Chain A
Amino acid sequence: MELTDVWFILIAVLWVGYFVLEGFDFGVGMLLPVLGGRDEQQRRVLINTIGPVWDGNEVWLLVAGGATFAAFPEWYASLFSGFYLALLLILVALILRGVAFEYRGKVDSPAWRARWDVAIIVGSAIPALLWGVAFGNIVRGVQLDENHHYVGNLFDLLNPYALLAGLVTLTLFATHGAIFVALKTDGPIRARARACATRVGVLCVVLAAAFLLWTQLSYGRTWTWVTAGVAAVALIGGLLSNLRGREGWAFLATAVTIAAATVTLFGDLYPHVLPSTVDPAYGLTVDNAASTPYTLKIMTWVAVVFTPIVLAYQAWTYWVFRKRLTVEHLPPAGGLPAPAPTPVGTSAGAGRS
């Protein structure tokens, strides 16, 4: 196998890792008001199920970005400049939600927390939607000219196929997240999460089936019908397991769904990395976008040595925090008192002075 193919596969692996892992913490974030209601302690339980791991999950994105830069500079350059405003939105969302996790408990004021909760909810939902839109466009192809420059605009990216892809990732990550909460908590939150996973999951099945069919009929190749099938079966299997209270199996199944769907998209994309809708000859492929064999060889060695180590210690983190979390496990909130004694419910300036 050519090293360019190896790196195409490795980048697919990085996105699989990113979507499987950050997928559930996006889900938990956007379902904060649905699963936690207005109860502060329950919301804290939700946030703390992902507390120790969300940041490590997000690194998968950074490494996917860095690896694309190193292995396929043309892809990195055309993709990131072409999707400029969409990526800006994703960046703002990721910035706000990252800070929100760390800061929301720092001041003991409902108004303060409410604002950060908005950042967590919106900051989780936007990337969950937009990553789907981005990948829909990557598979579909974008308006690249002969210099591989994107010549369309933001609204060209919001075509029906890509928007459907976005809705699929949004609902899929929500389902994945709800099942994660069911697996990691107990009591009323667990029950609510299971019910929510079913409701969102059914919607997701419909959207995902339409999307996978559209994808396979328009861009599919023979072997990816298998992975698309695996994704569909795993999703339905996951929802059934969830209904029967087998949350571990359900979580594994939605993880397989995300992985198989991502593999399907990458499989359909190959040998392109970013097709052109202007002229097929203008598209970027694993060959014309790649770095030199020397660079790819070095990167391959680094990846072969260090990826297993990373996987081992991240897996260990999940093992350390494997127990279900309930309100009883939470210590008192460590926030400082709100600066001025503002009555509950007033908003302006309550968090700051």
Chain B
Amino acid sequence: MDAVDLARWQFAITTVYHFLFVPLTIGLSLLVAVLQTRWYRTGRPEYLRATKFWGKLFLINFAMGVVTGIVQEFQFGMNWSDYSRFVGDIFGAPLAIEGLLAFFLESTFLGLWIFGWDRLPKRIHLATIWLASIGTVLSAYFILAANSWMQHPVGYTINPETNRAELTDFVAVLTNSTTLVAFPHTLTACLLTAGAFMLAVSGWHLARNPRRDGATADRAVFVPSMKLALWVVVISGALVAITGDLQARIMTEQQPMKMAAAEALYNTAGPASFSLLTIGSLDGSQELWSLRVPGLLSFMATGSLDGEVEGINDLQTQYALLYGPGDYSPNIATTYWSFRLMIGLGLLVAAFGLVGLWLTRKRRLQHPQVAVAGVEGRALRWFWRLAPWMFALPLLANTFGWIFTELGRQPWTVFGMLRTADSVSPEVGVGSVVISLAVFTVLYGVLAAVEGYLMVRFAKAGPAPVEAAAGQDEDATDPDRPLTFAY
């Protein structure tokens, strides 16, 4: 393995890992803000308990997102210095603005939210979680603007004198059509992730023995949480699909090779069918058997059932003329399967939410142990059995989504402009990257185990009792009162 491969592995590992925590941070901060708003409006203690319970899980996750994010800010310069030199005039701006507008907002107001329960008036305290949540959303916007520029560069010129890309129109970068579809797609995926997480934890608690101590009190927290989670999963699931469809069409226009690779479509076809599964050679060039939906790829790519979709071979010929000799197709097997797994897992969790919404009608959430007859009863039992595992589906779908997006762009870092092989740091030796790759892998592995352990234990422990959850009273602004929360 050479320095480029090692640096790519490191970027893949650290970025995929970072993005396990980010969607939950974005989605859950919004859901916690909603729950706290309900408490502020109704004054009902179960909403305060819910806010604190989900808030605690949110923070365990948030810590990991923050610390792994520092690596992201550094490693463009560390491992991709030639990339940084080439694109810094454009790419650096959204990153710096993300820090100034988003990171400060989320970190500062989250600090106020965590420690401010007894220091701030209720209204201001509620505002802090909303501001932190807005910070996470802003952060997503700017980093996606930066990434979208790599997928579809706009608002730039190549300066032959400095040999780099230079910014000519910042508004064009911020309103890149790629950003405008990637942002809602990512944001709704974050909500789907948080919804599925809430569904999983609530489901586990609601399916437990109803006669144990504190079961009634816990149900008061988890019934509204489950309802919120089911609706969030269904609505955001639908929106992820719609925005994903828009994205596919834009992608076909801007990066046709990525779409061709997504289907392992070697020869241009119209109408083009979409294979749900294929058995064949690993690079998809030879097919033994496949399960196909006619016209679906045409529809995804063009919006019409008989639209023409360009194949890998034709694109390869075009690109070789345009960019000179070379291989312009990404790794087909990985692109093919990650595309399917992203869509499949996302649809699966959304469908699970929809079925769950139907099965739990008629106040069945309040009485999950009451027997329901027939097929529906069996389905309901399966719903409770499967619910706790639903958290994993969006995490995997998100991961496959990014693997598809980034691998599908290869061999480019900036599409049509800068190759991955020309982006790596020439001054960093293989030895250094081996060390850092090993360090990150071990460190991240250990931290994943710790985080998972804490998440499971705190999720299972359930919400704190009402007395302990109270704590905000009229005198909340006295700065000398004991803290209700401290490390």
User: Which chain A residues have a beta carbon within 8 Å of chain B's beta carbons?
Assistant: 44, 47-48, 51-56, 58-59, 61-63, 65-74, 76-82, 84-85, 87-88, 91-92, 94-96, 98-99, 101-107, 147, 149-151, 291-292, 294-295, 298-299, 302-303, 306-307, 310, 313-314, 317, 320-323, 328-331, 334, 336, 339, 352
Contacts and interface: CB of A to CB of B under 8 A. Distances in A.
Interface string B78-120: 1101101101111111011111110110011111101110011
A295 B167 contact: yes
B295 interface: no
A78 B428 CA distance: 10
Interface stretch (B64-72, B179-187, B229-237, B265-273): B64-72
Interface string B104-142: 100111111011100110000000000000000000000
Contact of B107 (A47, A58, A303): A58
B103 A95 contact: no
Given A58-B107, A69-B96, A88-B435, A352 B453 contact: yes
Contact of A306 (B85, B101, B447): B101
Interface of A is mostly: helix
B217 interface: no
A48 B483 contact: yes
A56 B60 CA distance: 17
A69 B95 contact: yes
Given A59-B104, A80-B74, 17 more contacts: A51-B487, A52-B114, A55-B110, A63-B104, A65-B73, A66-B73, A66-B97, A73-B92, A95-B70, A99-B63, A149-B427, A150-B427, A151-B427, A299-B93, A329-B482, A330-B482, A336-B461
- Scoring A47, A106, A336 by chain B CB atoms within 10 A of each residue's CB, the highest score goes to A106
Contacts of A295: 89-90, 92-93, 166-167, 170
Contact of A317 (B76, B103, B112, B481): B112
A143 B468 CA distance: 59
A331 B482 CA distance: 7
A235 B82 CA distance: 41
Contact of A51 (B89, B167, B486): B486
B29 interface: no
B458 interface: yes
B67 A98 contact: yes
26 contacts: A48-B115, A51-B115, A52-B111, A55-B108, A55-B110, A63-B104, A66-B73, A70-B95, A73-B85, A73-B92, A74-B85, A76-B77, A81-B427, A84-B436, A87-B74, A92-B443, A95-B447, A103-B454, A107-B457, A149-B81, A295-B89, A302-B97, A302-B100, A306-B100, A307-B100, A322-B479
Contacts of A77: 77, 81-82, 84-85, 88, 425
A314 B104 contact: yes
B427 to A, nearest CB: 4
B175 interface: no
B185 to A, nearest CB: 24
A2 to B, nearest CB: 16
Nearest to A73: B88
Nearest to B169: A294
- Scoring A59, A313, A323, A352 by chain B CB atoms within 10 A of each residue's CB, the highest score goes to A59
Contact of B89 (A67, A99, A292, A303): A292
Interface residues of B, number: 79
B427 A55 contact: no
A323 B447 contact: no
B89 A291 contact: yes
Contacts of B480: 323
B3 to A, nearest CB: 11
Contacts of B104: 56, 59, 63, 310, 313-314
B449 interface: yes
Contacts of A96: 443
B425 A320 contact: no
Given A299-B93, A323-B480, A81 B79 contact: yes
A307 B97 CA distance: 11
- Scoring A58, A70, A72, A329 by chain B CB atoms within 10 A of each residue's CB, the highest score goes to A70
A80 B81 contact: yes
Contact of B100 (A63, A103, A149, A330): A63
Top-9 shortest CB links A-B:
A73-B88, A80-B77, A70-B92, A69-B92, A66-B96, A102-B63, A63-B99, A77-B81, A81-B81
- Scoring B88, B428, B458 by chain A CB atoms within 10 A of each residue's CB, the highest score goes to B88
A242 to B, nearest CB: 24
A81 B59 CA distance: 32
Contact of B73 (A62, A105, A317, A334): A62
Contacts of A330: 482-483, 486
Contact of A59 (B103, B479, B482): B103
B486 A331 contact: yes
Interface in B213-272: none
A347 B191 CA distance: 40
A131 to B, nearest CB: 13
Contact of B78 (A62, A70, A84, A101): A84
Contacts of A95: 67-68, 70-71, 443, 447
B140 to A, nearest CB: 16
A96 to B, nearest CB: 8
Contact of A78 (B63, B81, B167, B170): B81
